Amino acid sequence: MITRRQTLALIGATAAALSAPNIRPARAANEFRIGWQKNGVLALAKRTGALEKRLGERGLTVSWAEFTSGPPLLEALGAGSLDFGPTGDVPPLFAQTAGANLLYVGSYKGTASGSAILVPRDSPIAALADLKGKKIAFKRGSSAHNFTVKALRKAGLTTDDIEAADLAPPDAAAAFKTGGIDAWTIWDPYFAVAEADPQTRVLTTAEGIVDSWSFFFGNGDFTAAQPEVITDVLDELAKVGAWAQANLEETVPALSEITGIPVEVTRTILTRKGADLSKVATLSDDALTYQQALADEFHGLGILPKALTIADVAWRPKAS
């Protein structure tokens, strides 16, 4: 199982990174710094230069820093070396626990069909209850962690009933392929890549188990100083997403080129039930309620060492 010691180690590592002086580069004049991952609306916006055009009207230049996952992106954002960036639902809970200087500024409602628990095609595991006693890989502190907790609960199980393997997606993919784990909880695009292998079987997607919320974050100091820039960025991303969703025949190859994921796998991701790139918005009541419930649950399970109030770090634009 994932222990309290491991959880505290994760929070401690986050806090150490947040205080490290070597990740606080001097800001260039009139610069807006974005952290991004090779997927979704931000990737498409980077390709088209949409934010450069929009923020250029304010005399701002845009710089981009690529990350492979949410936790290090949030570390950089909270430390002041970024102004804006996205991540899933669980990483910000640890960042808030560690005292990161960041704010929830927007949300994206994804599709629950884009996350799954995978097993080998010939595995005897046929239902969630069959996971009892099995070795399941998921990245601790990620959205897959949340999904695993809720999927086990649906079967009357807890993480105490399984052997949890804390593996990053590339390591979990290798372990899954060689039989080193019995099951793997994972999200797109890794899910779609693995699903394309005929030796893989989907035990369940997250549909009916957990919603799929992602969030956009602003550095606390930057957001307080230039809230109109955050508003512009979210508005432009919503426009990029709406165009991309309405023009999937152009979006699919464009995103495939950015990510290096084959076109047909990219098409699978973008055409899953409920997938909609346009669902970018400022922080909604539904998103805030979801995130508070998740924080409460993870505290109740002992995954988070203290209770959190998400509203304390939530930002919304002032009415004009």
Q: Which domain holds residue 141?
A: 111-203
Residue 146 has pLDDT above 70, yes or no: yes
pLDDT number for residue 143: 87
Q: Same structural domain for residues 128 and 86? A: no
Q: Same structural domain for residues 173 and 217? A: no
CA dist list (Å): 308 to 4, 221, 313: 17, 21, 10
Mean pLDDT across the stretch 145-169? 95
Angle at the Cα of 31 from the Cα atoms of 29 and 32, rounded to 5 degrees: 155
Strands (E), 88-206: 102-109, 115-120, 135-138, 163-166, 183-187, 200-205
Helices H, strands E: what count in the chain? 13, 11
CATH of the domain at 260: 3.40.190.10
As a whole number of angstroms, the longest Cα–Cα distance in the chain is 60
Mean pLDDT across the stretch 207-223? 95
In a domain, 155, yes or no: yes
Neighbours of 222 (CB within 10 A): 22
Average pLDDT, the chain: 89
Of the listed ranges 11-15, 147-151, 206-210, the least confidently predicted one is 11-15
Strand order of the β-sheet with 213-219 is 61-66, 31-36, 84-87, 213-219, 102-109, 280-282
What is the C-alpha to C-alpha distance for residues 122 and 119, in angstroms, rounded to an integer?
8
Q: Same structural domain for residues 277 and 232? A: yes
15 pLDDT tier (thresholds 50, 70, 90): very low
The residue assigned the tokens 């994972």 is: 186
39 pLDDT tier (thresholds 50, 70, 90): confident
Q: Quick check: 43 and 72 in contact, CB under 8 A?
A: no
Q: Same structural domain for residues 237 and 98? A: yes
Boundary-marking domain end, from 144, 176, 203: 203
Q: Same structural domain for residues 215 and 104? A: yes
